[in-house]
Structure 1
Amino acid sequence: MASKKPVFKPYNRDQLMAFPPTFEELIPADHTVRIVDKVINAINVGPLLEAYHIRGASNYHPILLLKVLVYGYVTNTYSSRKLAIACRENVPFMWLSGMSKPDHNTINRFRGVRLKHALRSVFEEVVKYLAAEGLLSIEEVYTDGTKIEANANKYTFVWKKAIATNKEKMKKQLADIWDYAQSVATVEDLLPEPPTAKTVSTESINAAVKKLNEVLANNDQVDKKTKAKLRYLTKNYPPNIEKYEQQEAILGERNSYSKTDTDATFMRLKEDHMLNGQLKPAYNVQISTSNQFIVNYTIHPNPSDTLTLKSHLQQHEDSFGQAPKTLTADAGYGSQENYSLLEKKEIEAFVKYNMFDKEQDGHYNKKYPFAAGKLFYNTVKDVYICPMGQEMEYQGNVKKITSSGFEQTSRKYQAKNCNNCPLNGACHKSKTNRIIEVNVDLKNQKQRAHEMLNSEQGIRHRKKRCYDVEPVFANIKQNHGFRRFMLRGKQKVEIEWGLLAIAQNLRKKAA
């Protein structure tokens, strides 16, 4: 019996075609690249065109480069070199670019320079386009933040505390040698105190070093060890203090930065592959979403979400001419300053405070029965009643200034005869009579937040927040593998995240 031969489909690479296929035939009608092309063709890109000047050689069209970049971020192609290769070899990119072949320098320069002042307007136009289609709302948003690692060396760090420590060491060593100089110098040679006594600065260090050299350098009574110290501080202290002042200028209000990206601050990242909570240079990315579309984004150098809300809301107003009507956020934003800001802007806020979730837990309430928030307040006498029924009298106000400059005022109340109380040790741990501080404004704000969050509408917003804003970060980080910025500097990082935001919105529309 004859064996059967395998059957193959025809393969002839040199076969001529009467009607060769076009790119239009090769790309399906529902392909994502067509969404990118359609949306960018439909929006106003005037600010982008204005970034070009009428001089020099001809340029690749900015709409071409914008489409290539956006589609690159949609398909997880972030490298300018890979984008340049894709324009030569990848069918959707070749169709999108009209067979143009921009090199990686052109793409990178366009991303880092031309988009510097234009990408925000492109993002806003995309959001408005999607809102007009009814896919999202700019009035009802869900806000959250995440930390993304910067393109910076984690071992080239500068810490504000280390600078302060080194300046104090310099001050102490100068004071020691100044005291020694006083003992060997005449009365008219030295001032009563060194110039660094009040402040350590370039001027004071230089003045102290100059004066010490005048007194000690050529004095035969000075021992060799002291002269060696004098030579060391003369050589090192002036340049060191100048370096510290430059670093402090870069730090500003921050506690740290990386030398390879001075805009990046050291933060603890959840996605730490070493699982040891190591500090890394990063940026705090804030977004507001609606139906998993990104409506607004801002980049911040400070790790705390609490301090980001004010500028984030301001950006929303700058982009769309008005603040959102409704905002939902987690406990990271629940501060007196933020509640006051939301009230001032008349935003319906569903924002948790730090103890909200624990207060919903009955076990927690049983565990801390003597918490200050559970004490009875007598409004007539203005006293709190301690667990044993004794009055805690008003002692005055306490004012505090937060790191952002916001002033908080608390009322202080103190109990009596705690030493003989049978609940002493269980009610509080202080060795003196118990003192509580009550921020009345914050207490009222938390009460209103509690009522809002537990209302029918509040419960709906709380549930929706978990599957509206949080999956957006998960999609960008987990599904699309973006865990580290490629560009350096806050301005370029904003461009990169703006491209990611546009890509997220267009991917969502295509889905």
Structure 2
Amino acid sequence: MAGKQPTFKPYNQQQIILLPPSLEELVPKSHPVRIVNEVINKVNLGPLNSAYKTTGASSYHPQMLLKVLVYGYVSNVYSSRKLEAACKESIYFMWVSGMSYPDHNTINRFRGVRLKEALRSVFEEVVLLLAQEGLLSIEEIFIDGTKIEANANRYTFVWRKAIATNKEKMKQQLKHIWEYAQSVAAKEDELPDPPDFTTIDTEKVQSTVDKLNEVLGKKKDIDKKTKNKLNYITKHYPANIARYEMQEAILEDRNSYSKTDTDATFMRMKEDHMRNGQLKPAYNIQISSSNQYIVNYTIHPNPTDTTTLTDHIAQHEESFKSTPAVVTADAGYGSQENYTLLESKEITAYVKYGMFDKQQNKNYQAKRPFSADKLFYNPQKDCYICPMGQQMHYIGDIKNKTSTGFEQTLRRYRAQNCSNCPLNGACHKSKGNRVIQVNVELERQKKKAHELLNSPEGIERRKKRCFDVEPVFASIKSNHGFKRFMLRGKQKVEIEFGLLAIAQNIRKKAA
């Protein structure tokens, strides 16, 4: 007797459907693609439409292409070829594209060219829409930065230090062979005094090479080694110095760049699998966040956060025609220049300075009993009192300039007699009398910051910063796997991160 047969649901690929299903029915009401559709429909696309010509063949609708791109970044589909395939294979992409099938060239051209001038305004409108719904604030923000690897070769680099070293070698070789030429041509007095090789450029190198060839070319008795040197200099130096000048123009105030993306700078990356901070071409991404929504973003070529705040605040003002009321940031932004900027704009700044966290540690404080910040200051006599009770008198100011040109003034105070002091060697390590340097303005700003950060509101904002701005980077890089840009050049990288920022905000809203 045969056993009982299992029961299966009907399966017939050739079954004719009387009423074919619509894509509208297949997309769940709460699906993120509907949020993308809803948000982009509310955005004014006038600036984007103006990127198209009024003549010629018809183009795919920019609203449709923008929805496809944004939903692609929401769903971790970043490649133009994968987006092309998704428009033919995915129900959600078919629905949002209205069954349009743009190819990868169209998508890439739209992303890299059409969005060049318009994406920032789209991002700003999305932020304002979310602000109107009460989901975020553009007045109270948290600022932080991260590094994302550039789409560039990791081994085709140019270093400022290497250029300087090579130019110094060129100077020495030119000087050496000029001196030899002078010794050979001394009797005929054919060679003038050597040129100033303190700085060299294309014109100076070329004229030096021409003059050396004019003098030494007539000589038949010059040694072979010198002749080979002259031939090498003639063949390579003019071209080399021209190349170095071009590279220095690209570097501007940076220390390095990648030959395959000249806007990318080599930075230490924490995400390296060896966890040893390898140098890779990257961009420094700065964002402002509010309730884990991205309010503002800027792209920077310099690896440190300290010098990015001025441009970041300026972009916020340009985007929203207002200055943020409250800024919270970590110690990477705690410089005199930044404190001065925030004070001048009347922004309440909960910004740590470099030693803030260590100063909260009593054990660390106990290990530094003789540090300059623990010395007593007598304002009437304008002097500090050293650990032995002796006066340290003012001996003058020194001026410092930061890499951005910001000028700092440091007041110097010197002890009277350290040679016979029983604390000599423990109080300080210098050989003579102890000298301390005090930045009066920075000390005032740090005291103000210390009071704000340790106030009840300051403690609350310090706690909130850790789970407001930092999870945004974790979501983009770890949860959604975006650790390397697809496009090259700062302008296109800004477009790409703008799409990431819009996608992050829509994901957050959908959640």
TM-score (norm 1): 0.99
Counterpart AA for 1:271 = E
1:191 equivalent to 2:192? Answer: yes
Aligned residue for 1:142?
Answer: 142
C-alpha contact (below 8 Å) 1:383/1:393 kept by paired residues = yes
C-alpha contact (below 8 Å) 1:184/1:221 kept by paired residues = no
Q: Deviations along 1:462-501, whole A, 9 cap, x unmatched?
A: 0110000000000000000000001000000000000000
C-alpha contact (below 8 Å) 1:120/1:498 kept by paired residues = yes
Aligned residue for 1:472?
Answer: 472
SS at match of 1:199: coil
Aligned residue for 1:52?
Answer: 52
Aligned residue for 1:271?
Answer: 271
Question: C-alpha distance in 2, partners of 1:278/1:463?
Answer: 30
1:420 Cα offset (Å):
1.3
Counterpart AA for 1:50 = S
SS at match of 1:12: coil
Aligned residue for 1:367?
Answer: 367
1:428 equivalent to 2:452? Answer: no
Aligned residue for 2:3?
Answer: 3
Counterpart AA for 2:50 = E
C-alpha contact (below 8 Å) 1:377/1:384 kept by paired residues = yes
Q: Which range moved further: 411-420 or 74-83? A: 411-420
Question: C-alpha distance in 2, partners of 1:501/1:14?
Answer: 45
Gaps in structure 1 of 5+ consecutive residues: none
Counterpart AA for 1:394 = Y
Question: C-alpha distance in 2, partners of 1:457/1:338?
Answer: 21
Q: Deviations along 1:322-361, whole A, 9 cap, x unmatched?
A: 1100000000000000000000011010000000000000
Question: C-alpha distance in 1, partners of 2:509/2:301?
Answer: 31
Counterpart AA for 1:422 = P
Q: Deviations along 1:406-461, whole A, 9 cap, x unmatched?
A: 00001000112112111111111111111110000000000000000001111111
Aligned residue for 2:328?
Answer: 328
Counterpart AA for 1:388 = M
Question: C-alpha distance in 1, partners of 2:431/2:7?
Answer: 92
Aligned residue for 2:383?
Answer: 383
1:215 Cα offset (Å):
0.7
Aligned residue for 1:108?
Answer: 108
Residues 246-325 of structure 1 mapped to structure 2, 5 A cutoff: 246-325=246-325
Question: C-alpha distance in 2, partners of 1:300/1:420?
Answer: 52
Counterpart AA for 2:43 = I
Question: C-alpha distance in 2, partners of 1:281/1:36?
Answer: 32
Question: C-alpha distance in 1, partners of 2:475/2:45?
Answer: 27
SS at match of 2:225: helix
SS at match of 2:275: coil
Number of aligned residue pairs: give it.
Answer: 510
Question: C-alpha distance in 2, partners of 1:228/1:508?
Answer: 68
1:213 equivalent to 2:213? Answer: yes
Question: C-alpha distance in 1, partners of 2:402/2:505?
Answer: 36
Question: C-alpha distance in 1, partners of 2:327/2:119?
Answer: 25
1:52 Cα offset (Å):
0.7
Aligned residue for 1:43?
Answer: 43
SS at match of 1:468: coil
SS at match of 1:308: helix
1:286 Cα offset (Å):
0.1
Aligned residue for 1:13?
Answer: 13
Aligned residue for 2:453?
Answer: 453
C-alpha contact (below 8 Å) 1:268/1:278 kept by paired residues = yes
Aligned residue for 1:96?
Answer: 96
SS at match of 1:229: helix
Q: CA RMSD in A?
A: 0.9
Q: Deviations along 1:274-300, whole A, 9 cap, x unmatched?
A: 323211100000000000000000000
SS at match of 1:274: coil
Q: Which range moved further: 206-215 or 1-10? A: 1-10
1:66 equivalent to 2:57? Answer: no
SS at match of 2:169: helix
Aligned residue for 2:438?
Answer: 438
Q: Which range moved further: 95-104 or 272-281? A: 272-281
Aligned residue for 2:417?
Answer: 417
C-alpha contact (below 8 Å) 1:217/1:227 kept by paired residues = no
Counterpart AA for 1:370 = F
1:163 Cα offset (Å):
0.3
SS at match of 2:404: coil
Counterpart AA for 2:372 = A
Question: C-alpha distance in 1, partners of 2:145/2:493?
Answer: 15
SS at match of 1:413: strand
Gaps in structure 2 of 5+ consecutive residues: none
Question: C-alpha distance in 2, partners of 1:173/1:342?
Answer: 51
Question: C-alpha distance in 2, partners of 1:63/1:163?
Answer: 48
Question: C-alpha distance in 2, partners of 1:464/1:324?
Answer: 17
Aligned residue for 1:182?
Answer: 182
SS at match of 1:396: strand
Counterpart AA for 1:204 = K
1:60 Cα offset (Å):
0.2
Aligned residue for 1:405?
Answer: 405
Aligned residue for 2:349?
Answer: 349
1:315 Cα offset (Å):
0.2
Counterpart AA for 2:214 = E
Aligned residue for 2:239?
Answer: 239
SS at match of 2:461: helix
Counterpart AA for 1:457 = E
C-alpha contact (below 8 Å) 2:386/2:415 kept by paired residues = yes
1:183 Cα offset (Å):
0.5
SS at match of 1:170: helix
Question: C-alpha distance in 2, partners of 1:451/1:275?
Answer: 36
C-alpha contact (below 8 Å) 1:206/1:238 kept by paired residues = yes
Counterpart AA for 2:287 = I
Aligned residue for 1:462?
Answer: 462
1:2 Cα offset (Å):
5.1
SS at match of 1:11: coil
Question: C-alpha distance in 1, partners of 2:369/2:21?
Answer: 77
SS at match of 1:25: helix
Equivalent pairs: percent with the same residue?
Answer: 70
Counterpart AA for 2:499 = L
Q: Deviations along 1:369-420, whole A, 9 cap, x unmatched?
A: 1111010000110000011111111010010000000000010001121121
1:173 equivalent to 2:173? Answer: yes
Aligned residue for 1:32?
Answer: 32
C-alpha contact (below 8 Å) 2:270/2:276 kept by paired residues = no
1:362 Cα offset (Å):
0.5
Counterpart AA for 2:191 = L
